[in-house]
Structure 1
Amino acid sequence: MSDKEPKFKKSLTLLDISTTSNTNAGCEDDCCKVSEIPHVQNTEDQSGQKSDFLIGGMDCPSCALTVEKAVKGIKGINGVQVNYNTGKMQVVYEDEKVLDQIPDTIKKLGHTIEAVQKKGSGRIYNIEGMDCSSCALTIEKHMKTLPSVKSVSVNFSTGKMTAEHDSSVEEIIKEISKSGYKATLVSSKRKSDQVKKDNSGTNLIIFSGALLLFGFLGSFANVSPSFTTLLYAVSIIIGGYKPARSAYYAVKSRSLDMNVLMTAAVLGAAAIGEWLEGATVVWLFALGNVLQTKSIEKTRNSIRSLIDLAPPEAFVKNGQELIRKPVEEISVGDVIVVKPGDKIPLDGLVIGGESSVNQAPITGESIPVDKQVGDGVYAGTINEHGSLEIKVTKLVEDTTISKIIHLVEEAQEQKAPTEAFVDKFARIYTPIVFILALVVMVLPPLMGIGTWGEWFYKGLELLVVACPCALVISTPVAIVSAIGNAAKNGVLIKGGAFLEIAGRISAIAFDKTGTLTEGKPKVSQVVLTGLSEVELLRIARTLEEYSTHPIAKAVAQYAKDKGVSTLLGDKFRNIVGKGVGAIIGDNEYFAGNLKLFKELNTSLGELESRILSLQQEGNTIVIIGSKEKIYGVIAVADAIRATSVKALKGLQAVGVNQVVMLTGDNECTAKKVASATGVNRYFAELLPEDKVKAIKQLQEEGNIVAMVGDGINDAPALATANIGIAMGGAGTDTAMETSDIVLMADNLEKLPHTVKLSRKAIRIIKQNIWFSLIVKALALMLIFPDLLTLWIAVISDTGAALIVIMNSMRLVKVNG
């Protein structure tokens, strides 16, 4: 994949936000590519109702493909998309009745399924007392007769009902009781997003392993061979029933997954009398599956745990009373009270009280932020001390933390270039080895080379080696781990493609104003020529008080902070592009630039060289005086962020060679800021289109370029760069939508961590791929010299997959 591909994608995102449906995993064909970017048609393109489910027990992308094909085979299903990375499935259908068939289909494949809570006014209820699927149908039919119920779906296998309704929760519970069942509201979405733990697989492994052990020990004792064979057979049946059932439905769905290959190998081993081998293969395969599933669920739960950040209930102020309510029932405009030490349940504005709030869960900032009346707060952050009254500004599904979770899940569903390549390789590799196994079983014996049993066994070994689990899993688990780590550190990486590019960047371009600097001018120096500072500032504040210009505001605020009051002024006038004037007392005073006072023919004397010197140092000059005399000069400059210098040094430490500043300011100002921040290069006096040219120049020099800006004013440059990074995403929805990477805090503190994490992710992905290929190659080479056995082949496959997963999970623990 070329470095220009994400650029094309970003231009779509920036110019036409309506086209930003996420690219989804799982497409088998190359029919959906746009400029070679891995893009997959998803369920958004299909008409009908949509429902989301969590699928548990998928330990390999081929499992996701099998599930997808199986569900597609249900009559009435218009479209299915299963994402292995997030463990989610979206189904498109016309009639809700078809949903009743999905749980049975999924369970037959050996997986668990749970409905995901709907957005809007949808609610999840636990239903007690159902003992068959017809009970679920009874409840569903009854609820559909109620005018207040817009939609309802009852899942017997999970014991849950999803209903969208206008009536109160109490009324719904009452209606359920009429049908003879008990309902309770699942007040928190996080509870509905957790797949139920199923320990039956572990128990079967223990039982199957015990029978295998007894059979093996019996072969050394004076025990009948028929009895040991029986023990092995029962062990195979107990341990292999689940994968065999999954294999049956995979074949029915015309899918060639690991269950099919392993089942064929075990049946073949039994057919040639290798009962010990067959039982060992089954047990090792089942054990490997359980360990893989548990490991992968840990990476998935690292994202799902974000949901637990915001509390499920809040104290709502009703007059003088505080009423505890589920967050789903709280509306925009309601006032909630958050006590010291509690988590803030919803986004809002502080309307009463003062406190410090730990925003680390959202922005990654380590230091609590002071909050007072008028300040915004985010759901999931922690109120350190002092009670706060907060006016709710967003519903639970629209909070910043909800958007983070949604964007992270979308990011995990996008295939990185490496992952797309590996998937394509695996789709070719598996059937080729499968056919080769059949050839090995049949052709040599027909040609009179060796015996049928000998070559049949080699063919079975090839079937096991044909499972590309470790290879296919090498990239997605690493990407999920890295994106999850970044999200917890206040950085949103919007897909594997951008993670890979971030790991290869050699140049980062920064917008100056608001990125390297605070974007808020401040008084840096006051030069007096006759008046005291207080007298000068009184005149300055009087002149600048009512101006909306940022420089004027900075001067007025400086005087105000010094406790200087205004004078009585009259006949205020704005002199466009030059300054302001007013009558104060009996004289007319002016505040403006050098041009204004030259036009007034006011003598500057020796002060002119001082003014030019201040300008060369990057200051904007405000001269205070009259037509006859200059009373003083106030220098204003944009302060450099405290975190900028540290962040830029951190970037150079992790190997970013070119740290570049882009600014529309003059050469002198640019030079001063560049010197203070430590950037390698700067481009000054740039218009927006010139910033694009500067990015292209860096790219022509052979650099992979990232552009850091605010996500709005710098849109053309962000789109031109190989990767666009926006700051302050927590406070700006636009920034979260328009860039490839979002720094949730309004500083550059987490940028070095993002680059470091991305580079480590690329290293781990490469390690995983090479390790998987080498293990597979060694296994293939050991087959024909008779050095490989079936059980060693299984260990090489499942063991390699486990090692790859554990290696990828190291990314979860990379410190920010």
Structure 2
Amino acid sequence: MNDEKEKDDSCCTNKGCSSELPKKPKELKFKKSLDLHVSPAKPATDACCADDSCSATSSNETVLEKLSETAGKLGGYSRESVKQKGNARTYLIEGMDCGSCAMTIENHLKSHAVVKQVSVHFAAGKMTIEHDNSVEDIIKEVSKAGFKAALMSNRRTGEAKLDKSSMNAVVLSGVLLMCGFIGSYTGVSSLLINALYAISIVLVGYKPARSAYYAVKSRSLDMNVLMTAAVIGAAAIGEWFEGATVVWLFALGNIFQSRSIEKTRNSLRGLIDLAPPEAYVKRDEQLVRTPVEEISVGDVIVVKPGDKIPLDGAVISGDSSVNQAPITGESIPVDKHAGDTVYAGTINEHGSLEIRVTKLVEDTTISRIIHLVEEAQEQKAPTEAFVDKFARIYTPIVLLLALGVMVLPPLAGTGSWGDWFYKGLELLVVACPCALVISTPVAIVSAIGNAAKNGVLIKGGAFLEAAGRISAVAFDKTGTLTEGKPKVSQVIPEEATQEELLSIAYTLEEYSAHPIAKAVADYVRERGISTASGESFRNLVGKGVAARIGGTEYFAGNLKLFLELHVSLGELETRIQSLQQEGNTIVIVGTASTILGVIAVADQVRESSVRALKGLQHSGIRQVVMLTGDNKGTARKVALQTGVTRYFAELLPEQKVDAIKRLQGEGHRVAMVGDGINDAPALATANLGIAMGGAGTDTAMETADIVLMADNLEKLPHTVKLSRKAIRIIKQNIWFSLMIKAAALILIFPELLTLWIAVISDTGAALIVILNSMRLLRFKGG
């Protein structure tokens, strides 16, 4: 940060800080319906102060109490989200190629008293239903509506297979259609030709007609209803060839659509099949091959080099490198030693590992990712919800128009009944907004699947759209931009050699649990310097530690401790102030009369954070902001190292909320990135909450809108680019669908449109929309 940045209202040095934020307390809604009521912080003209006296005067108790409540609620939410309630079951549904198909199934099942609740999700190809009758009864009812259902197991494998009978029917129907067409030019009896056309219609029109019956019965309109009406109408006016061509093209188009949509729905099958179904369990020094469902927490499993790890656990013996890309998206294998955590579905690359199981198969990280992603695919984005509402209004209106076209002009004497009836049939075929309805959900499912394979968990279409529209990203500093693990940055001996200084410091700090003390002890230990013999250890709360070494009492602590001891700092005082301004925490080592030296400790900036921030700026993010509770000097140093465009320092948790609101007040859509519960208020206030390190944190996986599974930010630019690409593709799909519909409607009245061209325009547009959306599955983010 340079001086100009400081003058730009990002930080202040005066004590009279005041805030321009609203003073009225505002209820803060936490994602997942967890409420936090945050009182405004002490007014401050800026987001940070260099003076210690600048602190919030509003009560912190409200935030802390609510955070405590939130933490309690999170556990309950986590379990409820994974477990099914009562008699609720989930089924895979095959054959849905339009959003209105889902509505038909829903309405049909709701009419049965044994069904308490049902929800069918077109994009995910799934149905969640609570019922009292048998699974077979539900499958039978779904088949009546013209679709196939199968109970979804916890460990399903493989992709949905294309129904071969449907393909055979289409082929045979096409042969009969072609025979009839050729026969009409070779003098064959018109009765025989029409019979061939009729058989062709029945072969591929039976299923749509059955689905149409149940759609009408359940008071919903879908493409099956409109297509069946068009074919019956064409046969009624003697246009058997037109009717047969329409239904054959419709069936062929449905097959291609179903194949494409199933490929999108199956985009996560690779994740599901990552974890092996069996593991080698160590029992009395014997290795027993055991299904993972039969393995309990605490069992010891052995994973050989090259094998996939079957369950989450902790390494108890062995050293190896593990490829964690399936979970975290990290391209570089991670070294694992005794005590380290490993995840199901990751690959053991080198040495053999003995692992103590910590989670059952249904609770592993990979299982939770799959569950949450599938749950996300079922949630409608704002654009999708709008399109669905539009389609529900649009389709009945066009149906009424079609009836009007069939009846009103002939009654007015402006043409024959046959001509206007045919135009009405064309309008019926054009009416179904199939391409428009699937334009959004297929794109969202593809994008969420792509993100999951890259170690990013997006909780739903709404959050995908939000990520594509953000203009500012705010980061917590400690543990997000920095390692969160302080390390020794400088050693300054004064009245002792460096080795003597470090030996005494090691003796004093060795048994302290404070992160700064641990950093000093680790630094000395790595250099092989031994401790001195100490006794009478004392902990000086808020100041440091003391102990007697060789009959002399030594101290290690902060500047405040040595000022109280009245020890002269001499020229070191200026050096210490300079180090503090650069973001270092100072540990002074000495006696009651002499300073032996100074050790500077600082949190280290993550290299991955620097790369991620550059990637965000290249993605068009205008403001990259850092929020921290640290002092101004530390904030400035980290800002210079990472390249953030703005920083807010010396913030309490509720003041981070104020900083987020301030950015929003400036017109930004803000994403907040954090890794701890102390960031919960800011994550909730932001337009988008992003947590990192989700692979090791159940809370992060449940509470944030987007979770970066790896403990770094490198996948954040990919997420932003993917989200923006998804929004562009959704807009392309919507405009393309509307233009095709408009063109088809215009061509009806100059008699340039035929029924079979109308079918091609509808099914063709839907197929193009699906294929365009599937590009998101292969998006690399370059």
TM-score by length of 1: 0.86
State how far apart, in whole Å, the 2-side matches of 1:798 and 1:573 are.
80
SS in 2 for 1:309: coil
Q: 2:568 aligns with which of 586, 600, 603?
A: 603
Matched, 1:356 2:321: yes
| Other-structure match for 2:368 | 403
| TM-superposition CA deviations, 1:473-527 (whole Å, max 9, x none) | 0000000000000000000000100000000000000000000000000000101
Which runs of no fewer than 5 residues in structure 2 stay unpaired? 1-25, 36-69
1:627 CA drift (Å): 1.9
What is the 5 A alignment of 1:209-228? 209-228=174-193
| Other-structure match for 2:706 | 741
| TM-superposition CA deviations, 1:658-716 (whole Å, max 9, x none) | 00000011111100000000000000111111100000000000000000001412000
| Other-structure match for 1:531 | 496
Which has the higher mean CA deviation after the structures are superposed, 223-232 or 736-745? Answer: 223-232
What is the 5 A alignment of 1:323-722? 323-722=288-687
The AA in structure 2 aligned to 1:52 is T
Matched, 1:12 2:50: no
Q: 1:115 aligns with which of 147, 151, 154?
A: 151
The AA in structure 1 aligned to 2:111 is G
1:417 CA drift (Å): 0.3
Change (3 A) 1:21 1:245: farther
State how far apart, in whole Å, the 1-side matches of 2:676 and 2:756 are.
55
1:104 CA drift (Å): 2.3
1:74 CA drift (Å): 3.1
State how far apart, in whole Å, the 2-side matches of 1:371 and 1:379 are.
14
SS in 2 for 1:85: coil
| Other-structure match for 2:111 | 73
| Other-structure match for 2:98 | 60
| Other-structure match for 2:141 | 105
Which has the higher mean CA deviation after the structures are superposed, 668-677 or 780-789? Answer: 780-789
The AA in structure 2 aligned to 1:648 is L
SS in 2 for 1:337: strand
Higher RCO (Cα < 8 Å, 6 or more apart) = 2
SS in 2 for 1:336: strand
The AA in structure 2 aligned to 1:728 is G
The AA in structure 1 aligned to 2:500 is E
Contact 2:231–2:247 at 8 Å: present in 1 too? yes
1:274 CA drift (Å): 1.0
1:738 CA drift (Å): 0.9
Q: Equivalent pairs: percent with the same residue? A: 72
State how far apart, in whole Å, the 1-side matches of 2:583 and 2:140 are.
71
| Other-structure match for 1:731 | 696
Contact 1:13–1:19 at 8 Å: present in 2 too? no
State how far apart, in whole Å, the 2-side matches of 1:65 and 1:429 are.
16
| Other-structure match for 1:810 | 775
| Other-structure match for 1:135 | none
State how far apart, in whole Å, the 2-side matches of 1:548 and 1:371 are.
24
State how far apart, in whole Å, the 1-side matches of 2:767 and 2:257 are.
6
Q: 1:83 aligns with which of 98, 103, 121?
A: 121
1:651 CA drift (Å): 0.2
1:306 CA drift (Å): 1.2
Which runs of no fewer than 5 residues in structure 1 stay unpaired? 25-42, 119-188
Change (3 A) 1:404 1:799: same
Contact 1:711–1:738 at 8 Å: present in 2 too? no
Matched, 1:202 2:202: no
Change (3 A) 1:563 1:358: same
Contact 2:160–2:262 at 8 Å: present in 1 too? no
Paired residues in the alignment total 719
The AA in structure 2 aligned to 1:786 is E
1:22 CA drift (Å): 13
Contact 2:495–2:594 at 8 Å: present in 1 too? no
State how far apart, in whole Å, the 2-side matches of 1:71 and 1:254 are.
12
Change (3 A) 1:88 1:6: farther
SS in 1 for 2:404: helix
State how far apart, in whole Å, the 2-side matches of 1:78 and 1:635 are.
65
1:50 CA drift (Å): 1.7
State how far apart, in whole Å, the 2-side matches of 1:771 and 1:463 are.
20
State how far apart, in whole Å, the 1-side matches of 2:601 and 2:545 are.
16
Change (3 A) 1:621 1:710: same
1:6 CA drift (Å): 14
Q: 1:190 aligns with which of 128, 133, 156?
A: 156
| Other-structure match for 1:173 | none
| Other-structure match for 1:27 | none
SS in 1 for 2:224: helix
1:48 CA drift (Å): 5.2
Matched, 1:234 2:199: yes
State how far apart, in whole Å, the 2-side matches of 1:354 and 1:600 are.
49
| TM-superposition CA deviations, 1:783-812 (whole Å, max 9, x none) | 111111111111110000000000000000
1:222 CA drift (Å): 2.8
State how far apart, in whole Å, the 2-side matches of 1:711 and 1:577 are.
24
Contact 2:32–2:703 at 8 Å: present in 1 too? no
Change (3 A) 1:341 1:287: same
| TM-superposition CA deviations, 1:324-368 (whole Å, max 9, x none) | 111111111111111100000000111111110000000000000
Contact 1:74–1:101 at 8 Å: present in 2 too? no
What is the 5 A alignment of 1:134-173? none
State how far apart, in whole Å, the 1-side matches of 2:498 and 2:184 are.
101
State how far apart, in whole Å, the 2-side matches of 1:330 and 1:23 are.
23
The AA in structure 2 aligned to 1:451 is S
Contact 1:706–1:723 at 8 Å: present in 2 too? yes
What's the C-alpha RMSD, in Å, of the aligned pairs? 1.9
State how far apart, in whole Å, the 1-side matches of 2:257 and 2:590 are.
77
State how far apart, in whole Å, the 1-side matches of 2:140 and 2:534 are.
82
SS in 1 for 2:780: coil
The AA in structure 2 aligned to 1:54 is L
1:234 CA drift (Å): 1.3
| TM-superposition CA deviations, 1:266-300 (whole Å, max 9, x none) | 11011111111111111110011000100010011
| Other-structure match for 2:738 | 773
| TM-superposition CA deviations, 1:14-59 (whole Å, max 9, x none) | 64548969999xxxxxxxxxxxxxxxxxx98xx9522221111111
The AA in structure 2 aligned to 1:51 is R
SS in 1 for 2:469: coil
State how far apart, in whole Å, the 2-side matches of 1:422 and 1:367 are.
42
SS in 1 for 2:678: coil
TM-score by length of 2: 0.90
SS in 1 for 2:677: coil
1:221 CA drift (Å): 2.1
| Other-structure match for 1:761 | 726
SS in 1 for 2:349: strand
State how far apart, in whole Å, the 2-side matches of 1:331 and 1:22 are.
18
Q: 2:228 aligns with which of 255, 263, 282?
A: 263
